[in-house]
Every structure is written in C-alpha cells, then in structure tokens.
Structure 1
C-alpha cells in the first residue's frame, strides 16, 4: 500500500522564488536563508518520494474572490506555473498523480470533508517556491505532486482543528491506496507576517518558535488555537500556519525531528522550516 513517510513544513515567500530565479541565493542577504535548506536538499535525495502532497494557498491566480473553495484538491495530469503579473516562474511544469489524487478525494469526501475537485489549475509561488527550496533548479521535478489548496485569503478560513483532522483523513486515504508509493506531505505558508495596515511588517519570533516546537510534540493542543490568536500574535497572514497542521495531522503521533530552521527576515516575513519523519 502507499504510505506517508515524512512531512516537510516551509514558508513560501515569493521573494525567495525571485532570489532563486535571478541568481541571488549567495548574496549576503539571502545566503543564510538558503543555507538553512542545505540539509533538506540532501535528505530528500535519499528519501526519493514518489509523490508529494503539497498543501498551499493560492494567491488570487487560480481562484479569485468570486470563487474561493475552503479546500481543493487538484486531480489533473499536469499543472503549469502561474503568471502572477510578471510572467510565470522559469520552473518545470508540475506533474500530478491523478489516480492517487482521485482516490484521496473519494476517501476524504466520504469521511465528510467537502473537498472541491479541480482538474485544470495553474500553480503559483505558494506551490513552486517550496519545490525550488527542496529540489533546487532541475530540468524536471523528480516526483509527482498533488496540489491541495486551502483558503487562508478570504475569511472565514478553516480552523486549525479542521485542518489537523483533514490531515488525518488524508493519511487514511493514502494508506488505503493499493499501489506501493513513498508519499510525503508538505505544509507551506507562514510564519508570522502582515502585509498591510498599521501592523505591516509584523514579525513575532516568540510565537513562531513556540509554534515550531509544539507542532512536533503537541500538535493536538496546537490545533485548538483560535483564529484570533493567529491574527493577534502572528499577523493577518500568519493564519497560513493552519496549513502546517494538515501536514502534521497526516503524520504519525510520534515523529522524529530531522531539521528545524528559523530565519528573520526574508522580505518582510519570518521563515520557518521543519523536516519530520514518521517513527515506525
């Protein structure tokens, strides 16, 4: 059967993608950030996932304010990088896994989660930046990718508890798939940041580091954090962290922390990164 073996959490700051695309990764400003992903790049070469379920949020490219699903799963064969106003990123198209994605949709919807099924979608920096951070700049991405989009742009966003429970339902779905597959799940977005208003530029390092610690060992408690706490402590865009809880819910209760990284700032955002392996 298929099995989720590991999870990755990472920020998906668009400026990181621009730094990669424009050859600035060794600049003094950016070098400390990219050094924080050196371990993960070597680790994933050894892990060789067949499929990555990549949880991200769309930034008004595939969806707009007329239609924003709370949860959506992309079941198509291939997904192109989106044009976010300055042309698509110069990265490979993402190859999907329609059979596994459709199986997950079937299983999760029967478990009472109302996923929107999407077949044709362009994927923006929320999905492509994590791939670049983990895989570098290959001619083709070395694994299949199933995009799972979460609404954290238009309120109300789903609760942390709902996201954690969805992760558990995804794990159940994957483990009931007949093909032997090494599957990883990634949660992206965050950490603390706010892009507008009087608090624009807010970064709360204490909140971020507490979140990084608790998601490893106390995720069920972390899932109970109300939206107001994210808004108050982590800024209006800090709510993206609920997507990390989908990743954590899809893993076993006991995980091994392989990498923890935190960096301030990248653009006007705090960057967090975790690599977690399931314990047998």
Structure 2
C-alpha cells in the first residue's frame, strides 16, 4: 500500500511569484520568507515523495462564482496554470496521477463526500506557487500531483470540522491505494489576512501561532470554531487555514514537527510554513 510521508503547509500569496520572477529572494523584505524553505526542501530530499496531494483553493481561474463546488478533485493527466491578471509568468505544467485521483474520488464518495471531478483543470497560484517554492528550478516538477480544491471564496463554506473529516478520509484513501508510492500532503493558504473592507490589512499573529502549535498535537482544537469565528479571528481570506487543517487530518496518528517558519508581513499577509512528518 502507499505510504504518507508527511505534510507541508504554506502560504501562497501571488506576490511570491513576482518575487521569484524578479529574483528578489534575498532582498531584506523577502529573505525571511524564502529562507524558511531550505529546511523544507532538505526534508523533501530525504522523504523522497513520488506524489503530492495538493489541497488548495481556487481564486477564479478554474471555478468562478456562478459554479463553485465545495470540494473538487482533479483527475487529469496534467495541470496547467494561466495568467490570472497578476502578470506572473506561466510555470511548466504539472504531471497528474490519474490512478490515485480516481482511487481518491471513489474512496471519498464512498465516505459520502459529494465531489466535483475534473478531467480538465487549470490550477492557479494557490497550487503552482507552493510547488515552485518546494521544488524550484527550470526542470519539470519531479513529483506527480493530485489537486484537491476547497471552496473558501463563496459562502457557505465547509466548516473546519467537515474539512478535518475530509482530511481523515483522504488519509485513509491514500493508505488503501494499491501502490508502493510515497505520498506527501501539501496544504496551501493563509495565514491571517484580509484584503478588503474596513479591516483590510488585518493580521492576528497570536492566533496564527497558536493555530500552528495546536495543529501539531491537538488539531481537533480548531474544529470547535465556526466559519464566522475564523473570519473574525483571521480575516476574510484567513479562512484559507482550512487547507492546513485538511492536510493535517490526512496524516495518520502522531506527527513530528520537522520545521516551521512564520513571517509578517508579505503583501499584507501573515505567512506560515510547517513541515510535519508522519511517525
């Protein structure tokens, strides 16, 4: 059966792509953020994953407000990104793993999760930039991918408890996959930020750091909050921490925190990074 080696959760601000394209990684504004990824890449080199299940949210590239599924899973042989209006260069397409995609889809539907299945799928910065941060360089990304998209854009949003249960189901599905593949779970988004309205620029450092701490040993703590609670605590866009919670749910049993980085601000966003290893 397949093995889950661990998870990596990270922010995905579009401005990161601009900094990469303009080679600004060592500028004082960006250096504390980019330097956090050295340890994550070192861990990936040791963990040697074959496949990444990437849990993220779409910002209008593949889904728009007229058709917004709560949960969607990609089942395509490759995933391309496109111009979202940020002026970011398109990155090479990512290889899919169709076999794992359909195994995951069938397992999740059997556990009563109603999914949108996508045999063609564009992936936006929330997918492409974390992959570039973790596996940088001009060469194609060395791992196959399965995108899992969660709606954090248009209300009603899935509750934290529902997202954690989705993560548990993803973990069970991966571990029942008849393959010798090594799988890493990637969750992207957050942390606290609000881009518009009266609270534009809102950041809650205290809650972010508590959330990261609890995610290691007590992830169910987060599930006691409602979506309105999280909007109040983390900002309108801060609810993207649902992807972190889902990724944590996919890890079987106890975990070991290998690495963490937290930096404020990047483009009015509190950025976080955490590597958890399955033990």
TM-score normalised by length of structure 2: 0.98
> Which residue is equivalent to 1:236?
236
> Which residue is equivalent to 2:41?
41
* Residue 86 of structure 1: how far off its partner (Å): 4.6
* Residue 88 of structure 1: how far off its partner (Å): 5.6
> Which residue is equivalent to 1:94?
94
> Which residue is equivalent to 2:6?
6
Partner SS for 1:274 = strand
Question: Separation in 2 of the partners of 1:253 and 1:204?
Answer: 29
* Residue 137 of structure 1: how far off its partner (Å): 2.1
Distance 1:210 1:268, change over 3 A: same
Mean alpha-carbon deviation: is it higher for 38-47 or for 212-221? 38-47
Question: Separation in 1 of the partners of 2:210 and 2:204?
Answer: 10
Structure 1 residues 32-181: aligned runs within 5 Å: 32-86=32-86, 89-181=89-181
Mean alpha-carbon deviation: is it higher for 162-171 or for 40-49? 40-49
- Stretches of 4+ moved more than 6 A in 1? none
* Residue 96 of structure 1: how far off its partner (Å): 0.4
Question: Separation in 2 of the partners of 1:266 and 1:140?
Answer: 27
* Residue 97 of structure 1: how far off its partner (Å): 0.2
TM-score normalised by length of structure 1: 0.97
Aligned Cα root-mean-square deviation (Å):
1.1
Question: Separation in 1 of the partners of 2:51 and 2:250?
Answer: 14
Question: Separation in 2 of the partners of 1:264 and 1:15?
Answer: 14
Which residues of structure 2 form unaligned runs of 5+? Answer: none
Partner SS for 2:224 = coil
* Residue 243 of structure 1: how far off its partner (Å): 1.1
The answer on whether the counterparts of 1:56 and 1:243 sit within 8 Å (CA) in structure 2 is yes
Question: Separation in 1 of the partners of 2:180 and 2:224?
Answer: 34
Structure 1 residues 240-255: aligned runs within 5 Å: 240-255=240-255
Which residues of structure 1 form unaligned runs of 5+? Answer: none
